[in-house]
Structure 1
Amino acid sequence: MSVLALALVAPLASAALTSPSDPATPTPGDRVTNTSQLPSGWQKSGDRIVTYDGDGTGLHVLVADAADAYTWHTAATLSEPGIDTDQWIGQTCVTGSGDRAVVVYAPRQAVNDQQGFQQGAFAAVVDLADGTVTKLPELVSLAYFNPGCGDGEQAVLTRPEGTGTQLLTVDARKGELVRQQTVAGQLTSAVPFGNKIAAAQGDSVVSVDAKGATSTLARTDGTPFRLVPDAHSGLAYQVPAGKKVQVRRVTSAGSDKLLGSGALGALAVHGNGGRVFVTGKDAEDAVPALPKSWRTLDVPASAEVSTTGDLALTSVGNGTEAAGGRKAAADIAQSVGINAVVPGSDTAFGFRVKPKAPKGTQGEEQSPALTDGIHTNSITPGDDDPSTSTTDPDRACAVTRNDPKLQSLQPSTAQAEWATDLAVQGKLDVRRRSGWNGSELPSYTPQGLFPSTALKGGGRVPAQIMLGVLSQESNLLQASSRAAAGESSNFIQGGYYGNAGSVHTVNWAAADCGYGISQVTSGMAGADTTYTAEQQQAITVDYAANIAAGLQILQDKWNQLYDKGLLVNGGDPQYLENWWLALWAYNSGFNLPSATDASAPWGLGWFNNPANGLYPADRKMFLSSGYDDARNPNLWSYPERVLGWAAYSQQKTDPATGATVRAFTVGDWPTGNAPDAQPPHDTFCKPTLNDCDITKPRKVEGSTQPEGPCQRDDFKCWWNQPVSWTDCTATCGTEVLKYQATDPEPTVAAPHPAACTSTLPANALIVDDVPNTVKFRVGDANPCAGEKNWTSRGTLKFTFGSAQQNGATVYPSKIDFHQLGAGFGGHFWLTHTRVPSYTDSVVTGTWTPDRKLGGWAEVMVHLPDHEANTPSATYRIDVGDGTVVEKTISQDTGGKNTWVSLGSYEFKGTPSVSLTSATADGTGDSSIAWDALAFVPLKGKPADTGTPSPSPSPSASASASAQK
């Protein structure tokens, strides 16, 4: 299973806000209009509220000040150039002054991968006044407690480092890392505390000095979490105690005191600038005696609190990604719905904010944490020249990107559910005709290529388990999120280039070959012979075949665990919760027993153990509190997320009504309440079974500090036992099928039909962007059948920007290079514009006809109806004798497939027209496309055409560019 499999969607805004289908509705607005509802003295208040929300354009840091009637604006939008994701996720904390935010951000696909989760997030400091962004040079963890701000201008970032934890201290005022130190064991919830760092380690709160030496401040009966410094040398923190949670305070001198307790999840501590806020509906009664600078707020425990506690946010989300992250969400900043309350009153506000980052904030510039990758051995290149081939002959994965004959069809959610329902019944035998979706595949059936595997012990995989996996892995997408349902493009993939998110790095040795809707990785490396070439291609182009292959993998995980006796609640597979361990193995694998050392750890890894301190101890079932949970998918382990999707579904917008509805059918729970069957977080943490003990952590040899809850230096607290936590007949969920084995495949109409017929004069010399041998198909259908009245007469050839990385030539420009099954003839290419200095990211395409031209002709370029929007596409027209004329146009056609004139010229030989993605304003947020081009012969010189002014030849221009 892919370690960079895709993750989650963003939350729905509250129903009190505008409909997710109409994010542009102006009310509620971006400010408080009835200022009489604001607390007294708001005009002079220093209160500030900072929140965040992510979409395909980046993670938006949103700010509102009380003195400005809480008018919202975007301080910055953080992203990394060239990363293909439809949602950025992350977290923020605000420094003591309230002037700066420290931000951790990452593409959502990072949450499913242990390395991506622990060391794959970017970090930055944002000046909340002017929007200046300073990106930090280290990658960090996505754990819920990262970043941790203190009462001043410092913050702490963490990431695992071997068997220890690396602590990175940030001076937010300077925008730089001022200290890096590695401490043995797993430290969580790290924050600045005086001139040291405070963190949770096992059952203790510890402090770490500048030399990395640790000392114990307090020892507790559980794992401390959510540490917050106060203004009087104290530290607020929480400790889980069974179904309760304690609120405690420890001082720098080691004086520890219990202040109160409540139900787990009903209380939370927050803070800023030395102020501590205890939130929860019963917080005042639960924590009656408060230290100085502490305050209780009668708001939901999960609320986000402003710097002085005068406003609390109860819901934040944009709602549009809940449809699965389609193209609109990826390229357009989505308006954010925010619900807020004034603590201690009945006053509530609803806001709708359209993110718009100030120019020049550097939020889109590449992070200095991204460095050149290491290029090592890959599969043997074929005959194609990688400098000009759209494919990757030097790739490590089996099936290349950007092969027009191997495009993936994007399914609708109905198609995904249909294929899943039939697959789990073993009846996914729909016939795919030869050449399906334009491929060169022979006829096949999905479960003919990937037969269902019988489960040991009997039964079958419940449909909702597989639908939850598909939701978690890919948002139900087979193709890139650029493709809408019924459209084709490259397959959705995780780490095909092994680039760890860098648009400038190709590292084939680190490639993660995850393909399609179930992110099939096993058998998809170039040298892997698990699958035949036909099977690998079917996994790539066909969502149904991909689901059949993914189901096989999940069935294999069940059988593997069954053989070792790892059964859940008795092992009846009809119950959804009983798939917990198989889901664990599906995501992070299963470590087999050692053949030579019977005492060696084996089983399911620590990363997905719910007891892992990477996840907050007071979390509830994923999505049980609403879709706000999906803003921070990193708060839950993989099995928890899959069960959440199975119980609550993804969301989609009904195109007929505009209403938000479930994307697929959910499971059925006898109590009507899925959380009733959720296992306690310590279910897989037993001292005698896997060296895991929340209350009695193991001490590391040579250290007085605990390691918990995993007591091993190497964190191999692997689970390898059967487990039972509920009576499934009374509480567990079961499958609900929407489609029966005889139901036909649902149909879907592509929203961007191809321009099949040429409207140019019959004597037009058309040069398409792909050869005539490329077939345009949508599944089994041929939408252009009988309509094509033209033949391509020439070639479009690309040159790709390269880089030297560790002695090898690689082509980073292909990372952000894409194809779509639309436009003229059903295919076009696209990328984002780049400034010319990014030579390794620049793509240039040149159309050349197969004959010479003499005399006057008009040059026409076809522009697709979507994905092309740069205002500065500069075409260089060589009239055949070396004279070059430049013509700059906008590629934005207003949503139409259309031919646009580049002017008329007198040709004197074999002409060519080139278009490069390098533009003066190439910020990476404009798309540029290559579709068909045509030469239309004219009789004589047109009256309105003057003699073209020559520009430097292409070679001279290239030389000048290379000298920059």
Structure 2
Amino acid sequence: MSVLATAIVAPLASATLSGPSSSDGATPSDLVTDTSQLPSGWRKSDDRMVTFDGDATGFHVLVADSAKRYAWRTAATLSEPGIETDQWIGQTCVTGSGDKAVVVYAPRQAANDQQGFQEGAFAAVVDLTDGAVTKLPELVSLAYFNPGCGDGEQAVLTRPQGNDTQLLTVDAGRGTLVKKQTVAGQLTSAVPFAGGIAASAGDSVVSVDGKGDVRTLAKTGGTPFRLVPDAQTGLAYQVPAGDKAVQVRRVTSTGTDQLLGSGALGTLAVRGTGGRVFVTGEDADKKLKSASLPKSWRALDDVPASAEVSTTGALALIGVGSGTEAAGAKPSGAIPDAGTAQPVGIDALVPGTGADFAFRVKPDALRQEQGSAQSPALRETKSRANSGSSDAGARTGDAGVHTNSVRAEPVGTGAASAQTSGDDPAHTTTDPDRACAVTRNDPHLQSLQPSADMAEWATDLAVQGKLDVRRRKGWNGTDLASYTPQGMFPPLELKGGGRVPAQIMLGVLAQESNLVQATPRASAGESGNFTQGGYYGNGGSVHTVNWAGADCGYGISQVTSGMAKSDTTTFTAEQQKAITVDYAANIAAGLRILQDKWNQLYDKGVLVNGGDARYLENWWFALWAYNSGFNQPSPTDSAAPWGLGWFNNPANGLYPADRKMFLSSGYEDSRTPNLWTYPERVMGWAAYSLQKNDPQTGKPVAQFTVGSWPDGGAPAAQPPHDAFCTPAGNDCDVTKPRKAPGSSQPTGPCQLDSFKCWWHQPVSWTDCATTCGTEVLKYEATDPEPKATPVHPAACASTLPPNALIVDDVPNTVKFRVGSANPCAGERNWVSRGTLTFTFGSAEQNGATVYPSKIDFHQLGAGFGGHFWFTHTRVPTYTDSVVTGTWTPDRTLKGWARVLVHLPDHQADTPSATYRIDLGDGTVVEKTVSQDTGGKNTWLSLGSYEFRGTPSVSLSSATADGTGDAAIAWDALAFVPQAQKPSDAVTP
């Protein structure tokens, strides 16, 4: 599965707070209104609270200062142009001065992909006082411990580098990388310490000096995590003690190590900034040897272990989020027009007094253009994110995402393509030179966006083997013959009997795509390009096309295998098209893949809790294989490792040792999904569901039915983190964390230098009859398909005079359909009398001409006649990103005519759309207008002109104020002849 694609911004549709709320029911505000609740001296305090939240518009760095009554402001919103994601995720740390934040951020999909996880995140330094953003020229790891700040102005970033690890030291004060050190193996939880770097390495805390030499500071008996430097040349850290306890310890730069307290795993946490160390958790002071605490340490025993703490410990955050993080912030089920972000709810309390506050913050960055400018890490022709520099897949043997999909029943031959190989890629909207089977931006092949009810209906029927709804010929405007989803993709019979529980498949869909089949820009009931993985193989760069690195993941279940243009045997052309345009067919194909994973594992005896398919937890291994593959036994070497790869093993040191079940502590877990393995996340969705804002109340509501668990709930049935880690089973030992010399894998319990600690044993960790979850169906096999009413209906009929010469943005042969319905039936009173042609900006890369301008080029089934195109404005120097569209009528015009352009009600808001009107004799007149119509489908006049031949009107995405944020659209255009010179005449 690929990580990165194209960018979008989404504004707020409701003023009602979504997210955490104060326990006392207080009305949320963006600052403290009752200052009597604040600690004494708050006016002169330099205490600062820094937190974050992400949505489709970017990763928001939020700041509040004590001296300003903790009035919240957005220091920065970080995103990358050309990246399509429903949510930005990441982490921050604050430097010793409290004035700089070092930020790691990435699209949510990076958590699904091993290479993207390890070296696909961006990094930046944010000035918390004035909002200045300095993006750093390296891609780094998304692991929970990245970045790591010290007690001064330096921070450390980490990433794999071939067989080694690079430690990148950042001088946040100057916003620069000052040192790169390559160390054998991989260290975790790296932070600046004592003039060098401290980190976790196996069962030790180690130091790394300026020459890269590694020295052991303390042997810990477990893998240390959450390293925090204090003000007395000491280092706080945590280390598991067995599988149920955690210790809080301190080691000095000279190697003196001290136990300061312990408690149950998950009940204590070490936090800190600028040399101050805070230990959070209920009764933390009783669990610590308080008399032995250094002066810069403080126990916050009335603060939950999971809380975020301000720079001096005067404020703690116990809840942060918009309530829609994992759903891509889609009020009313749609991504609204560009411009604003989702409001963030923040719950806070004052340690020691218990005073609590409910804040509501509307993100609004100080320097939006800096946060959205492209990272220098992507300015190379071939970024590290797609260059193959990570050896994770090759070295561990973990198979790619969904690579073992089973072939469905054939109904034809060939690979799907809407364009012929003779098409000129410089002028066709599609990609004739693509690597994936079905092209983007073919108006004949748009994907219908389902509502959450539609997705759950299709899933419920599919798991019952009853998804036999008839798709009539031409469904959704395609050329597909009539079919049924499970007639085209028949379900497989499970080995051992039973069926896939509905909540397991719904969890997969939630994790893969947030239940969307089409681009997140399309609302439910609207069509657009398919949601996809790394179609352009660009690793996130809006300036790079790398067909060799393309990852052809399609639709709601991200079907990948069989969707490459070169694969003409797995699926037929009709199947590839159906997977692309029809969410129900895509779910049927994805379900078949999951069933095949179960059967592969069943055949090898790799079963969970006896292998009864009705229990949700028993699908753990199949989910593992669905994401990162299943390594088959060697036919020639019976002793060779085989089984489920190391990346998704819960014992892997990439994930924090004290994490609880995903979402069990609250929906804000979805802010940081990278802290859990893929099976853990899917099980979390199955138990707690996705949430999206209700269009009536503006509050988040569950998007599908969750499973049913006995008393104790879903957490009681979760496997221990070491359930798949035994010396005999896969050469794994949690009591002996180790670092393999020359490996890019993180330190942890795997005892093999190759890190092929692949699991292939049956496991039983619970009695499913008393603890495991079972499915709950909302829809029966006889229930009809739910319908969705688009929030952006098409403008079907022309309101222009009868003599108007309309030139639509697509040919008359393109059919506007929503599923099987024709919303414009009986209303279309016009035909297109001309053509809209495009010229796409190009670049020479790897010896070939490619068209990066198509990366951020899109279509939607709305606007006039049910279709329009759009991109985002760029400055003219970005020639490889510029798109120019030209409308030309099919006849000459002699005399006066008014020129009107149709502007769609969304995805068009640039204030600088400059139309160039050619009067037919070479004379060109320019007219600049705003495309922002206030959310209405509108015809806008560009004035009247005296034409002297065959005219044309062109519009370019190159604007002087182009930053990649403002949307610019091409819809229909019309020439309306005038009997005489009109009052709005324009004379060249």
TM-score normalized by structure 2? 0.92
RMSD: 2.4
Pairing partner for 1:784 from 824, 835, 842: 824
SS of residue in 1 equivalent to 2:683: helix
Residues 361 and 541 (structure 1), Cα distance of their counterparts in 2 relative to 1, 3 Å cut: closer
Pairing partner for 2:433 from 387, 394, 397: 394
Quote the residue 1:220 is aligned against.
220
Q: CA deviation at 1:877?
A: 0.3
Quote the residue 2:520 is aligned against.
481
Q: CA deviation at 1:940?
A: 1.6
Contact 2:793–2:862 (CA<8 Å) still a contact in 1?
Answer: yes
Residues 702 and 811 (structure 1), Cα distance of their counterparts in 2 relative to 1, 3 Å cut: closer
Q: CA deviation at 1:946?
A: 4.7
Q: How does 1:296-695 map to 2 (within 5 A)?
A: 296-297=299-300, 298-321=302-325, 323-326=327-330, 327-328=334-335, 331=338, 332-359=340-367, 362-370=370-378, 371-373=380-382, 382-529=421-568, 530-695=570-735
Q: CA deviation at 1:581?
A: 0.6
SS of residue in 2 equivalent to 1:514: coil
1:26-80 deviation per Cα after TM superposition (whole angstroms, max 9, x unaligned): 9522111222221111111111111111111111111111111111111111111
1:117-172 deviation per Cα after TM superposition (whole angstroms, max 9, x unaligned): 11000001111111111111110011001000011111111112334322111111
Contact 2:18–2:324 (CA<8 Å) still a contact in 1?
Answer: no
Q: CA deviation at 1:528?
A: 0.8
Q: How does 1:767-782 map to 2 (within 5 A)?
A: 767-782=807-822
1:465-518 deviation per Cα after TM superposition (whole angstroms, max 9, x unaligned): 000000000000000111100000000011111111111111111101000000
SS of residue in 2 equivalent to 1:363: helix
Q: CA deviation at 1:799?
A: 0.4
Residues 396 and 285 (structure 1), Cα distance of their counterparts in 2 relative to 1, 3 Å cut: same
Q: CA deviation at 1:597?
A: 2.7
Paired AA for residue 126 in structure 2: V
Q: How does 1:151-300 map to 2 (within 5 A)?
A: 151-241=151-241, 242-289=243-290, 290-297=293-300, 298-300=302-304
The alignment status of 1:44 with 2:44, answered yes or no, reads yes
Q: How does 1:737-776 map to 2 (within 5 A)?
A: 737-776=777-816
SS of residue in 1 equivalent to 2:370: coil
Distance in 1 between residues matched to 2:501 and 2:370, nearest whole Å: 47
Distance in 1 between residues matched to 2:670 and 2:767, nearest whole Å: 29
SS of residue in 2 equivalent to 1:494: coil
Distance in 1 between residues matched to 2:614 and 2:809, nearest whole Å: 50
1:370-389 deviation per Cα after TM superposition (whole angstroms, max 9, x unaligned): 1212899x999711111011
Contact 1:816–1:831 (CA<8 Å) still a contact in 2?
Answer: yes
Distance in 2 between residues matched to 1:272 and 1:60, nearest whole Å: 20
Contact 1:873–1:890 (CA<8 Å) still a contact in 2?
Answer: yes
Quote the residue 2:396 is aligned against.
none
Contact 2:904–2:937 (CA<8 Å) still a contact in 1?
Answer: yes
Distance in 2 between residues matched to 1:773 and 1:274, nearest whole Å: 68
Contact 2:20–2:346 (CA<8 Å) still a contact in 1?
Answer: no
The alignment status of 1:114 with 2:114, answered yes or no, reads yes
Q: How does 1:16-55 map to 2 (within 5 A)?
A: 18-19=17-18, 28-55=28-55
Q: CA deviation at 1:789?
A: 0.9
Larger mean Cα displacement after TM superposition, 217-226 or 694-703:
694-703
Q: CA deviation at 1:700?
A: 4.8
Residues 55 and 653 (structure 1), Cα distance of their counterparts in 2 relative to 1, 3 Å cut: closer
1:816-853 deviation per Cα after TM superposition (whole angstroms, max 9, x unaligned): 10000001110000111111111111111000001111
Contact 1:4–1:514 (CA<8 Å) still a contact in 2?
Answer: no
Distance in 2 between residues matched to 1:183 and 1:683, nearest whole Å: 31
Quote the residue 2:969 is aligned against.
929
Quote the residue 1:78 is aligned against.
78
Distance in 1 between residues matched to 2:792 and 2:271, nearest whole Å: 48
Distance in 1 between residues matched to 2:20 and 2:284, nearest whole Å: 37
SS of residue in 1 equivalent to 2:894: strand
Contact 1:679–1:725 (CA<8 Å) still a contact in 2?
Answer: yes
1:227-276 deviation per Cα after TM superposition (whole angstroms, max 9, x unaligned): 11111111111111221111011111111111111111110000111110
Contact 1:131–1:361 (CA<8 Å) still a contact in 2?
Answer: no
Distance in 2 between residues matched to 1:643 and 1:891, nearest whole Å: 44
Paired AA for residue 284 in structure 1: D
SS of residue in 2 equivalent to 1:515: coil
Quote the residue 1:955 is aligned against.
none
Distance in 2 between residues matched to 1:400 and 1:936, nearest whole Å: 35
Distance in 2 between residues matched to 1:275 and 1:630, nearest whole Å: 28
Quote the residue 1:143 is aligned against.
143
1:605-632 deviation per Cα after TM superposition (whole angstroms, max 9, x unaligned): 1111111111110000000011110000
1:566-619 deviation per Cα after TM superposition (whole angstroms, max 9, x unaligned): 000101010000000110000011111222333222111111111111111000
Q: CA deviation at 1:324?
A: 5.0
Distance in 1 between residues matched to 2:510 and 2:92, nearest whole Å: 26
Contact 1:21–1:658 (CA<8 Å) still a contact in 2?
Answer: no
Q: CA deviation at 1:424?
A: 0.4
SS of residue in 2 equivalent to 1:423: helix
Distance in 2 between residues matched to 1:18 and 1:70, nearest whole Å: 18
Q: How does 1:788-799 map to 2 (within 5 A)?
A: 788-799=828-839
Distance in 1 between residues matched to 2:5 and 2:478, nearest whole Å: 25
Contact 1:21–1:653 (CA<8 Å) still a contact in 2?
Answer: no
Residues 702 and 549 (structure 1), Cα distance of their counterparts in 2 relative to 1, 3 Å cut: closer
Consecutive unaligned residues in structure 2, runs of 5 or more? 388-414
Consecutive unaligned residues in structure 1, runs of 5 or more? 949-964
Matched length: 939
Contact 1:519–1:550 (CA<8 Å) still a contact in 2?
Answer: yes
Distance in 2 between residues matched to 1:194 and 1:490, nearest whole Å: 52
Paired AA for residue 244 in structure 1: A
Residues 581 and 782 (structure 1), Cα distance of their counterparts in 2 relative to 1, 3 Å cut: same
Q: CA deviation at 1:693?
A: 1.4
Paired AA for residue 18 in structure 1: L
Larger mean Cα displacement after TM superposition, 706-715 or 603-612:
706-715
1:652-697 deviation per Cα after TM superposition (whole angstroms, max 9, x unaligned): 3333454532111100001251100000111111122212112124
Contact 1:64–1:70 (CA<8 Å) still a contact in 2?
Answer: yes
Residues 706 and 256 (structure 1), Cα distance of their counterparts in 2 relative to 1, 3 Å cut: farther
Larger mean Cα displacement after TM superposition, 165-174 or 271-280:
165-174
Contact 1:230–1:275 (CA<8 Å) still a contact in 2?
Answer: yes
Distance in 2 between residues matched to 1:838 and 1:610, nearest whole Å: 44
Distance in 1 between residues matched to 2:938 and 2:43, nearest whole Å: 54
Larger mean Cα displacement after TM superposition, 322-331 or 482-491:
322-331
State the identity %: 77
